Amino acid sequence: GGVVLHYLVRLRPFAGLHRQLQGGEFDVPDRLFDSVPRTWDQCSKSSPTEVKELTPEWYSDPSFLRNNNRFQLGTSVNGKEVGDVVLPPWANNSPEKFIEINRQALESKICSQ
What is the radius of gyration, based on Cα positions, of the chain?
14
**Cα atoms in the Cβ-side hemisphere of radius 13 Å centred on 58:** 13
More confident site: 72 or 51: 72
Task: Supply the pTM of this predicted model.
Answer: 0.90
pLDDT tens digits for range 3-19: 899 999 999 999 999 99
Q: Give me the pLDDT at residue 51, please.
A: 76
pLDDT tens digits for range 19-63: 999 999 999 999 999 999 999 888 888 877 777 888 999 999 999
